[in-house]
């Protein structure tokens, strides 16, 4: 079975399983979405959604956020982990948005990646979910499944992103990003599919080789 044939099977299966894809993070505008995505580093979407309402009630735009003391931001986001670093980045990027981008979240990768705490994956997620631009952000679930399904060498997330973009049509990138994440969380977890008895349906269909 070729990688292209696998890609077609995956697309059809996930379209049937997840015909609609709801963004798991709660947000009010592109700025609050940016902050929410930043907070997900080493933290679950559920925890972020529990924390952000209190923060966004105080500041849901760069101007108000820049006025908040870093200590106040850190106090609110502490449950998300890495709170000191994240609070500093939130404060810095808010000030940068005011100083360089007129208080608006930029709609291109280069400017997004220039913001404190925003790397390639975060910028890709913002472009995709906030602005509807086709990207294929690779998180740990996507990287793990793409490797398990032998769609990529798995040597790096950068290589995985390039390989997936070659295999799937650009029009499907945005929905597949969420579909594969959902599937990895719910059906093809890190500790499963290691034997024929525990393989998920997609691993069986793709003839993924069990570890044992």
Residues forming the active site: 121, 139
CB neighbourhood size of 100 (10 A) = 12
Half-sphere exposure of 171 toward its Cβ, with a 13 Å CA cutoff?
0
Half-sphere exposure of 70 toward its Cβ, with a 13 Å CA cutoff?
12
DSSP 126: I
Q: Does residue 80 contact residue 51 with C-beta atoms inside 8 Å?
A: yes
DSSP 185: H
Going by C-alpha positions, the residue among 97, 116, 110, 167 that lies closest to residue 138 is: 167
State the alpha helices, DSSP H only, in 101-172: 109-113, 120-125, 140-148, 157-167
Going by C-alpha positions, the residue among 43, 35, 42, 85 that lies closest to residue 65 is: 35
């Amino acid at each position: 079975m070729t990688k292209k044939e696998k890609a077609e099977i995956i697309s059809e299966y996930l379209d049937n399983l997840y015909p609609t894809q709801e963004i798991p993070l709660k947000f009010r505008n592109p700025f609050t979405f940016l902050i929410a995505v930043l907070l997900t580093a080493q933290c679950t979407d559920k925890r972020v959604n529990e924390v952000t309402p209190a923060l966004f009630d105080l500041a849901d735009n760069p101007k108000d956020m820049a006025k908040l003391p870093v200590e106040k931001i850190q106090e609110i986001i502490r449950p998300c982990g890495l709170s000191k670093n994240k609070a500093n980045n939130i404060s810095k990027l808010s000030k940068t948005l005011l100083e360089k981008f007129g208080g608006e979240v930029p709609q291109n990768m280069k400017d997004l990646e220039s913001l404190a705490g925003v790397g390639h994956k975060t910028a890709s997620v913002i472009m995709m979910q906030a602005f509807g631009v086709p990207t294929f952000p690779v998180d740990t679930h996507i990287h793990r499944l793409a490797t398990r399904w032998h769609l990529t060498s798995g040597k790096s997330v950068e290589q995985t992103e390039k390989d997936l973009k070659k295999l799937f049509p650009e029009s499907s990138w945005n929905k597949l990003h969420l579909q594969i994440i959902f599937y990895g969380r719910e059906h093809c977890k890190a500790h499963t599919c290691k034997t024929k008895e525990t393989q998920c349906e997609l691993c069986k269909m793709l003839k993924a080789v069990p570890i044992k």
